[in-house]
Amino acid sequence: MVAGQIRIEDVVKIFRHHDGQETRALSGIDFTVEAGEFVSLIGPSGCGKSTLLRLIAGLEEANSGALYLDGQKITRPDAQRGLVFQNPYLFPWLTVQANVSFGLKARKVYREKKDEVKKFLHLVGLKDFGQVYPHQLSGGMAQRASLARALINRPRVLLLDEPLGALDAFTRMNMQDEILRIRQEEQITMIMVTHDVDEAIYLSDRIVIMTPGPAKIETVKKVPFPRPRARSYPDFLRLRSDILNILNFGGHLEEPPYQI
């Protein structure tokens, strides 16, 4: 059995503010991500995507309902569930290599697994930058380093919160391919928050579309195309406009279409 199934069971998350007001960030999310699956979360800003990832990571507690990794209840953060933020949050006082080694050292397995560090630096294309401090990296390089830092623990699940949001379009497409390649090699379940519909279709097995206030799952779309996918494939574009319509960004397409 491939490990890495996430079961989200009727999860409700309410934030209480200082002034006694409440924000219902998630109201009754029920969903299962199968082991080895790539699932994207997409939805308007503030609808609770990050909150859901943080719950899976164990950084927040649900007010009701529960989350499970391979049947085991999630109660706190763990190296089994890696998280990559939109901001790479590399530790500025450590070199890139030391940043990537952090998880191994924290789990006291560094001695046996030292060679992994080189391997993962290589995997994300930073093998010549091990001795460099984070402030010397470009945005894309920093994000790749933070990906390597999360991957080196070989988590069963990798949670990605808009990891490519801050990157330019070309770096972004390169990174998408990189993520796919890593997933193929490492067989990790991946759950990714994104605002980019193309990115979601290009990467995912399924796309979860969320609605705001109170946050719920609106629709789950299967992406049945084989990989590698072509971004201009007609089915790709049809699915894209489907999703944009659900999100109310479809616009109007008059017949006949514009002449280019």
Partner 1 sequence: MDRLKQWRPLGAIILALALDKYLPDSSQHPPVEEPYLTYALILLALIFGLAPLSRRFSAAFSEKIKEKADFYAVFFLFLNLWNVVTKKYCLLPAIFFPNPDRILSVLVEDYHYLFVDCLGSSAKLLLLGFVSGAAVGLLTGIAVGFSKKAAYWVNPIIRILGPMPPTAWIPIVLVAFPSTFQGAVFLIALSVWFPTTIMTASGILNVQNAFFEVASTLGAGRSYQIFHVGIPAAMPFIFIGIFTGACASFITLMTAEMVGVKNGIGWYINWQRQMLSYANVYAGLIIIALSFYSLITLLFKMRDHVLVWQKGVIKW
Ligand X SMILES: Nc1ncnc2c1ncn2[C@@H]1O[C@H](COP(=O)(O)OP(=O)(O)OP(=O)(O)O)[C@@H](O)[C@H]1O
Which residues of this chain interact with partner 1, rule CB under 8 A? Answer: 57-59, 76-79, 81-83, 85, 87, 89, 91-94, 102-103, 105-107, 131-136, 149-150, 153
From residue 11 to residue 50, the character string flagging contacts with Mg ion as x (rule: CB under 5 A) and all else as - is: ---------------------------------------x
What is 66-111 written as a DSSP string? EEEETTEEP-S--TTEEEE-SS----TTS-HHHHHHHHHHHTT-HH
Rounded Cα distance between 170 and 90, Å, is 22
Q: Is 47 in the site for ligand X (CB under 6 A)?
A: yes
**Longest CA pairwise span in the chain (Å):** 65
Q: Could you tell me which of 188, 195, 251 has the C-alpha nearest to residue 37?
A: 188
- The partner in contact with residue 51, picked from Mg ion, ligand X, partner 1, none with C-beta cut-offs of 5 to 8 angstroms by kind, is ligand X
Query: Cis link prior to 77 (omega < 30° from 0)?
Result: no
Residue whose CB is less far from ligand X, 130 or 212: 212
Alpha-carbon Rg for the chain in angstroms: 19
Q: Is 155 in the site for ligand X (CB under 6 A)?
A: no
Q: Is 133 in the site for ligand X (CB under 6 A)?
A: no
Which of 21, 45, 232, 248 contacts ligand X by CB under 6 A?
45
Which of 5, 40, 51, 101 contacts ligand X by CB under 6 A?
51
